[in-house]
Amino acid sequence: MTALPLTPALPRTRRERLRWTLADGWTIARSNLVHWTRNPAAVLNALLYPIVMVLLFGYVFGSAMNVAGGGDYREFLMPGMYAQSMTMGVMTTMIIIATGSARGVTDRFRSMPISQAAVVLGRSFADMVNSVLELAVLLACGLVVGWGWHRGAGAALAAVGLLLLLRFALIWVGIYVGLALTPESASAAWMPLLPITMLADTFVSPALMPGWMRVIAEWNPLSATVAACRELFGNPGWGGDSWAAQHALWLAIGWPALITLVFLPLSARRYRRLNR
Amino acid sequence: MTSFAVVAEGLRKRYGDADALDGFDLTVPEGTVYGLLGPNGAGKTTAVRILTTLLRPDEGRAVVAGFDVVTQPDRVRHAIGLAGQQPTVDEILTGRENLEMWGRLRHLGAAAARRRAGELLERFGLAEAAGKRVRHYSGGMRRRLDLAAAFVLAPRVLFLDEPTTGLDPRNRNEVWQTVRGLAEAGSTVLMTTQYLFEADRLAHRIAVVDAGRVIAEDTPERLKSAVGGDHVDLVLRHAADLAEAARVLAGAAGAEPVADHDTRRLTVPVRDRIGALTRIMRELQERGVEVEDVTLRRPTLDEVFLSITGANSTNGTNGVTAVTGEGTAA
């Protein structure tokens, strides 16, 4: 056997291992981000879609809408648009995870001495960067159509934080579901997803919905984030006297925390079980 | 240091009701190119997935590069490279960026990863395409880039799962050359293939896999001679000549030819390739038997299976039916 040219030693200490994990996570995140810069059409598409939705809902449907407590519909609408776009972001995670499994990329990672945490870390970092960009475009778009924040920059930032928290929690759902799906079925996931984002206080007040639907809409995690954002931005809300509507702010933290608590271990388990 | 790169004992893996592996044993000496030969569904890929720590065996144990695949997976992963059935290269990145990424994931550090990427691009004949995005690469170039990615750390054991499936002959030749080069550089190579001629060209030893176990293991030479070496295929102009031609073939080859009336075809294994062919053609001409077509070819996987399973009837004919219809022309 000839001498092999390069063999960095495996990490021995916990600190070395952490350093490897962070370095690997960054490497994977960076290559994911490069994809964006190389694919302007996809970026434009991803950014244009929410703008079209704002115009569609803000002006086409919006002209027929009345906000329950009075106030401008587009002011009411925008926090819903933000949260919907964060929720639909789970599609990105799901498709990339499903494609990686189908194309053997996941297996190649698993055949290398890389901690799986690094792979997930890189994935979630890249997804969060994408989401921040998307949200920034949407916020700018909101400002153009007459939306604004009225309770100071601190509260507005807190609202942005809640939106990103929801997106972060959904990364784990995306990984868990994406590992079990083919790329084709992952791409079809918008079908069940879209109604879920609308069966909430995103576009209309749940008070206008039939009884059973109203309960679902009120307790939809999305509703909590949307209601909390309306409150923090100082936009008109629909009020609502249910417990869920009264405690939106806490639920906007509680729901994502619960989702993460459930789906993070589940997706870690599914990763480990790929060797079965 | 052991002299075996891979040792597998009694590996078993079930999927539902079916045994993907059923008592799989394998011993691969260090520094060799080793071929796992078998039809689709024989268990080759399952074996490779267990040996590369991607799958956990239900039973049995396996040691790769001196480490147990179940209890020391990280050490195994550190010592191996894997190129799966499909290239896992990133199409949006350039060839160089791909290799730099894999280099960094192998913890070479940025500068060393860059240097190593340059070396590998040169060595795998991709230097000119280094700056091009992989989506513009040919199938052969992608495979070679994928092999290069598996070779970033010059692994002690390199696993190649059907490295040439789906490639045209030119690209296949490129990949073969690359694999030979890797072996010369000191790696042990374990490759799977459905093609006898591929295993024959590359491997020092071959294990024939069928229904989840190794049913024969030897050098390509001895495996082929077990089948009777190369074959002469003869197509006659007139079916009436078949009996007479068969006598000529039997005399020249020392074996009974197989005749097919409908296609007017005769097939016989020959040991002395050119000598036998020359004698056959001369005698047929002397007797005025008109020949429409003649080929000298290597035995197909079907024939290898027939001869092995024929000698060892407990293994049934599953493998044979599975491989018929897979055009394995040399």
Nearest CA in chain B to A34: B93
In a domain? residue B264: yes
pLDDT of B274 strictly over 60: yes
With a cut of 90, say whether residue A25 has pLDDT above it.
Answer: yes
Range of the domain at B51: 4-224
Residue B324 has pLDDT above 70, yes or no: no
Same domain as B252, residue B119: no
- For residues B326 and B165, the answer to whether their CB atoms sit within 8 Å is no
Say yes or no: A107 contacts chain B, CB-CB below 8 A: yes
Separation in Å, CA of A67 to nearest CA in chain B:
46
Can you give the CATH number for the domain in which B49 is found? 3.40.50.300
User: Taking CA atoms, what residue in A is nearest to B185?
Assistant: A2
Instruction: Tell me whether A192 touches chain B (CB under 8 Å).
Output: no
Residue B230: the pLDDT is 84
Q: What is the mean pLDDT of chain B?
A: 87
Q: How many domains is chain B partitioned into structurally?
A: 2
For residue B312, is pLDDT > 60? no
**Same structural domain for residues B193 and B247?**
no
Per-residue pLDDT, B315: 39
Residue A13 in any domain: the answer is no
Q: Select from B70, B105, B147 the residue whose CB has the most chain A CBs within 10 Å, as the one to mutate to test that interface.
A: B105
Classify residue B312: in a domain, yes or no: no
**A4 interfacial to chain B (CB closer than 8 Å):** yes
**Residue A104 sits at the chain B interface (C-beta within 8 Å):** yes
Is residue B143, in this structure, part of any structural domain at all? Answer: yes
Q: How far apart are CA A238 and CA A235, in angstroms?
A: 10
Report the gap between the CA of A262 and the closest CA in chain B (Å): 26
Residue of B nearest to A119 (CA): B105
Sort out which chain B residues have CB atoms less than 8 A from A276's CB and list them. 55-56
The pLDDT of residue B182 is 83
Percentages of chain A per state (helix, strand, coil), in multiples of 5: 75, 0, 25
In a domain, A9, yes or no: no
Q: Which residue of B has its CA nearest to A122?
A: B105
Tokens at B114, concatenated:
């860059």
pLDDT score recorded for residue B224: 77
A220 in helix, strand or coil?
A: coil
pLDDT of residue A179: 93
Is A71 a residue whose pLDDT tops 80? Answer: no
Judged by a CB distance cut-off of 8 A, whether residue A146 touches chain B is: no
B176 and B290 assigned to the same domain: no
- Kindly provide the residue ranges of all beta strands, DSSP E only, lying in chain B, ordered along the sequence: 4-15, 18-29, 33-37, 59-64, 67-68, 80-83, 157-161, 188-193, 205-210, 213-218, 230-236, 258-260, 265-270, 291-297
Q: Which residues does chain B have within 8 Å of residue A38's beta carbon, measured at their own beta carbons?
A: 92-93, 133
The residue that leads in pLDDT, A81 or B317, is: A81
The predicted structure's pLDDT at residue A68: 66
A5, part of any domain: no
Domain that holds residue A186: 23-275
Residue B104 sits at the vertex; the CA angle it makes with B100 and B108, to the nearest 5 degrees, is 105
